Structure 1
Amino acid sequence: MLKVLKSGFFTTIQDTGRFGFRDKGVPVSGIMDTETVYKLNMLLENERDAAVLEITMTGPTLEFEEATYIALGGAELSITLNNEPVSNYKVLKVNAGDILSYGRLKKGFRAYLAIKKGFQSSLVLGSRSYYGNITPKALLKDKYEVPYIHTALFEPKITGLKVDSILDEEILHVAKGPEFELLDDKQLEMLFSQEFTIANENNRMAYQLNETITGHAVSMLTSATLPGTIQFTPAGKLIILMKDGQTTGGYPRILQLTDKGISILAQKKAGDTLSFKLM
């Protein structure tokens, strides 16, 4: 078991997500920054969908009760294993009784802890991803225990990676959404020429932006949405749906983020800047 001594601000278990239930209103959920997690699971030679810890802004303090191997990545925080500093994107051996502690956030917003063979929390609708209205837990709390598989010996083919960080990237590549053609020349100019900042209203459900573009008076039926769908409100506000986002919406869907774009946005916090580039 992994013992949660201190849970941090918002720490959850996530895998690649919960599919096949959107028609019943169940979000995909899953990893926000897939660019990072796929690399970590590759280092540990895990399946692509092996469950990880997703750590937001302030990290936890964790005690391992059995030997295993881990890899860390995503946001840059000060991290120690038994009070010794450790680095991201390296395979680390941990023994029974070892304590992993997260400290100050340096850059980015979400960090990830992958473990050999993945965390073994219960499957709900085919996924281990936490989502408050579906799973028994919405986030980890102090004194919780998370199961994992004891691994005494593992000889990784690659012990570390040099990664091109996405933490400093500010350009989000987008495709045209179903209602893109509703935009006029002035709205298009505002959308693609200005810099936007992340609003305080940002979480796993959606990110809002502070700046607006000229609004609209379009009335439309509620339609399907996806993680990465950018909605356009009548007041000109942009709302970017994320992994726990609603499955339908009544605002025009003007743009759609790429998977990499979602990962880049997942590492942004209030006040950070971004811009859009049409593919």
Structure 2
Amino acid sequence: MIEVIKQGLRSSLQDEGRFGYRDQGVPLSGAMDHYAFHLGNHLLGNEKGTVVIEMMLQGPELYFTKSTYIAITGAPFEARLNGKAIPHLSRVFVPAGSNLKFKPPKYGVFGYIAVQGGIKMKPILNSLSYYPKVADDFLLSKGQKLEIKQHSKKGGSNAKVGSQLENSDKTIDVYPGPEFHLLSRENQKDLTVANFKIGLNSSRMGYEIKHTMQLQAKEIITSPVQPGTVQLTPSGNLICLMRDAQTTGGYARVFQLSENAINKISQKRNGEEIKFKICE
């Protein structure tokens, strides 16, 4: 059993996402950084897609009543188990009666606590991913108790792996969106040569992309969107849709991020620079 002593900042349960309900307006949700999510499970020998704890900027404090193994991935949170530092990106043994605390990472946004075997809860719409008003129980709360599932596989990896998270890398790989060709040539060029910044109004639903250019695009008939779609509003604002994004939208879809690019941009903080690069 894991007891939540402090929930941290919007710490939640997340898996690969909630598939098969977009036609009913239910977002995909799931881990913001899928690379870090899968890496944690791989280190522990968990089944692909096993639910993890996602933490954002400020991690939770957890008490383990049962011994287990964990792996911490994503943003480099400084983790302490019973007051002693434990490694990032490694399989770590947690004895029964242990307390796990975190200090905020120096860079990055989202970190992940994978637990060997995963966490036992009843799925909502075939997923254990938190989403407001759909799966509120999956947002961590003080005093909450999380049951650890029995691990059915042997092993895991004792190897320490490298991080994909490079704070200095600002290149975001994109593909032209359905309405990119409708932009003026000047605007098309601006979008691929300029530097942008992550705005303050960013969340799991979408990231605000700040700029100082004169960009223009007409509204479109409501059309499908998905995580990684970059929308350009008639007023010139850019929004990169993220894992909790709506399923349709009426703004021009100028770019579509690659899966790796969604992972990368999810770890960018307010004020950090990015640059779009069109994939050939």
Q: TM-score, normalised by structure 2?
A: 0.95
Deviation at 1:146, TM superposition (A): 1.6
Deviation at 1:118, TM superposition (A): 1.5
Tell me if structure 1 keeps the 8 A contact 2:165–2:264. Answer: no
2:274 aligns with 274
* Shift of residue 14, structure 1, vs aligned partner: 0.2
Unaligned runs of 5+ in 1: none
CA deviations 1:43-76 (Å, max 9, x no partner) are 1111120000110000111011111111001111
- Tell me, yes or no, if the aligned pair for 1:68 and 1:150 is still in contact at 8 Å: no
Q: C-alpha distance in 2, partners of 1:37/1:221?
A: 35
Counterpart-to-counterpart distance in 2, 1:215 and 1:132? 33
Structure 1 CA distance for aligned equivalents of residues 33 and 164 of structure 2: 14
| 8 Å CA contact 1:28, 1:244 repeated in 2 | yes
Percent of aligned pairs sharing the same letter = 35
Q: Secondary structure at the match of 2:108?
A: strand
Aligned: 1:47 with 2:47:
yes
Shift of 1:216: 2.8
**Structure 2 Cα separation of the partners of residues 158 and 206 of structure 1:** 36
Question: What number of residue pairs does the alignment pair up?
Answer: 279
Alpha carbons 2:14, 2:53 under 8 Å: kept = yes
Match of 1:137 in 2: 137
Distance 1:257 1:58 in 2: 27
What is residue 240 of structure 1 aligned with on the other side?
240
Moved >4 Å (runs of 4+): 150-154
Cα drift, residue 170 of structure 1: 1.0
User: Partner amino acid for 1:247?
Assistant: T
Shift of 1:104: 3.0
Judge conservation of contact 1:231–1:239 (CA < 8 Å) in 2. yes
Question: How many Å separate the matches in 1 of 2:36 and 2:79?
Answer: 17
Q: Secondary structure at the match of 1:264?
A: helix
Task: Give the counterpart letter for 1:162 in structure 2.
Answer: G
Structure 2: segments with no counterpart, 5+ residues: none
Separation in structure 2 between the aligned mates of residue 210 and residue 253 of structure 1, nearest angstrom: 17
1:124-179 superposed Cα distances (whole Å, 9 cap, x missing partner): 11110010121133621211112212569963344321334344321110011111
Name whichever of 147-156 and 118-127 sits farther off: 147-156
Cα distance in 2, alignment partners of residues 5 and 152 from structure 1: 28
Aligned partner of 1:64: which letter?
F
CA contact (8 A) 1:212 1:238 kept: no
Structure 1 segment 1-279 matched on structure 2, within 5 A: 1-137=1-137, 139-150=139-150, 155-216=155-216, 218-279=218-279
* Structure 1 position 210, deviation (Å): 1.7
> Per-residue deviation at 1:122?
2.0
Cα RMSD between the aligned structures? 1.7
Q: State TM-score, norm by structure 1.
A: 0.95
